Amino acid sequence: MRPTYLEINLAQLKHNLEAIRAHVAPAKVMPMVKANAYGHGIEGVVPFIEPYVDMLGVALVEEGIQLRQLGIKKPILVAGGTMIGQLPSFFEHDLTLTASSLDLLLVADQLAESTRQRMKVHLKFDTGMERVGVHEYEAEEFLQKSLACRHLEVEGIYTHLANSEKVDRKYSLLQLERFQEILRFYEKNSLPMPMRHVCNSGGILNVPEAHFDMVRPGVLFYGIYPGRDIERKVDAKPVATWKSKVAYSKITLPGRPVSYGSLWQAEGSPTRIVTIPCGYADGYFRNMTNRARVVINGKSYPQVGRICMDQFMVNAGEDDVKVGDEAVLLGGGITVEELADWAGTNEYEVMTNISARVPRVYVGAVQ
């Protein structure tokens, strides 16, 4: 196995889920496992966590199919945009459709009728994200048409918060008000209310009045908070530790530049430069050059010189760091927020960009 790997603590993942569930009770919990479980590895995460969840959320039809191929039985909502040509896969693999347009809704109903099958759908409304979904001011016609779709089971109705992680809740509350206006359709017509869900990770923490019947934790499920200033009301901790080993160790003389572009060199005295077998092809962003830090043998050292595709270098100073010594790239005192700052991005991109060629190793799988 590669010396560079991502260690996933499944016991901590389960704890995070339990903490979220306790916080939102009695609402159901549907973790989002799209994008390879936010980089944590869908094949290791989902089979373990399935017994403890109510539903699972993905972005792509292909992700839903992958879960079924892994033997997952729980309901799976495909939350991303779906093309009409992909609808047969929903029947074949028992996936739940996000009906985000009238055209998609009607074609799904026609296909269900022609194949003598039923399809579960969740109606998606755009209350201020401007991504996908029917606008709240066009909801009446959409909802009326949904009642006529006799071959579909409208199981849920939802929207997505655009700024839920912000301390200023003004826009989130505006979106919630618009969503509540949509829901009045069912009350006015004395109809049973579908399952309502609004809250992503930020909403779970910041908009408790929108917990409704189900929540959709994303990064919070993996122990990462969606905003730096958001109140940490749920006892969730990171489950991923990115580890490697020193692959080479040498003394570099002053004036001899390290790596491509000659962006760094030792000044004044010789220094020990060690090489870590991980690079931007693994998701260790090139933009972190001369900014990142790595923990080796429990001590923090600066990354130096241009980060390469497969390797990067660290300045160990006068310390006797040897080949084979453990290096921690994430965890062990280095936070995902720090990696995001060094890379000039956010925590979501850091985790989802850890390459598939970095093995995921699962620990703590106590059922």
d(CA 214, CA 207): 13
Phi, psi of 303 (to 5 degrees): -75, 140
Q: Do 186 and 225 touch, CB atoms closer than 8 A? A: no
Determine which one of 14, 28, 34, 245 is catalytic: 34
CB within 8 Å of 232: residues ≥ 6 apart: 205, 225
Cα separation, 80 vs 251, in Å, equals 51
**What kind and span of H or E run contains 301?**
strand 299-304
Active-site hit among 145, 233, 250, 260: 260
Whether 34 is a known active-site residue: answer: yes
Annotated catalytic residue 260: yes
Provide the H-helix boundaries in 41-138.
42-49, 61-69, 87-92, 102-115
CB 239 within 8 A of CB 10: yes
Query: CA-to-CA distance for 8 and 363, rounded, in angstroms?
Result: 6
Three-state secondary structure call for residue 247: coil
Query: CA-to-CA distance for 58 and 37, rounded, in angstroms?
Result: 9
- Catalytic residue numbers read 34, 260
